[in-house]
């Protein structure tokens, strides 16, 4: 069974640009969550999607957005990039058949996309 895949793996952007990251979950997994990891702020939860609906959201500004498609693939978008957005962005998927909180089921993480903002 293929794992969670994230594209691209590495990305360099400049301040003010926008970026879209993609996450393909494990087949059959309906919940996709996004996380940001930085040396200064550590690991932080961004948002979680289930059946194309955002169910949970962390404390990030509106510049961070996401969506989920009918095949459960998810994208996250960051507009008007700032230097502080440089981070490893992780995606995780879980089966979540019952539709409860995503963390009722084991999450499987992708390798991440490392975004550098210059």
Partner 1 sequence: AQSVAQPEDQVNVAEGNPLTVKCTYSVSGNPYLFWYVQYPNRGLQFLLKYITGDNLVKGSYGFEAEFNKSQTSFHLKKPSALVSDSALYFCAVFETGANNLFFGTGTRLTVIP
Rounded least distance, CB 107 to partner 1, Å:
5
Rounded least distance, CB 13 to partner 1, Å:
22
Is there a contact between 31 and 50 (Cβ–Cβ < 8 Å)? yes
Residue 112: φ, ψ to 5°? 95, 160
Chain-centroid distance, C-alpha 93: 10
- Residue ranges in contact with partner 1 by CB under 8 A: 33, 35, 42-45, 55-59, 90, 92, 101, 103-104, 106-112
- Give 15 or 57: the residue with its C-beta nearer to partner 1: 57
- Give 72 or 113: the residue with its C-beta nearer to partner 1: 113
Classify burial at 96, counting beta carbons within 10 Å of its beta carbon; exposed 0-12, middle 13-18, buried 19 or more: buried
- Give 35 or 64: the residue with its C-beta nearer to partner 1: 35
């Amino acid at each position: 069974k293929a794992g969670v895949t994230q594209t691209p793996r590495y990305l360099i952007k400049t301040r003010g640009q926008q970026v879209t990251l993609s996450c393909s979950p494990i087949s059959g997994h309906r919940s996709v969550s996004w996380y940001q990891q930085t040396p200064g702020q550590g690991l932080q939860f961004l948002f979680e999607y289930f059946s194309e609906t955002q169910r949970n959201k962390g404390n990030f500004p509106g510049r961070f957005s996401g969506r989920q498609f009918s095949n459960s693939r998810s994208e996250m978008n960051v507009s008007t990039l700032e230097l502080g957005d440089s981070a490893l962005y992780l995606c995780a998927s879980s089966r979540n058949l019952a539709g409860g909180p995503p963390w009722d089921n084991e999450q499987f993480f992708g390798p991440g996309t490392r975004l550098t903002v210059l």
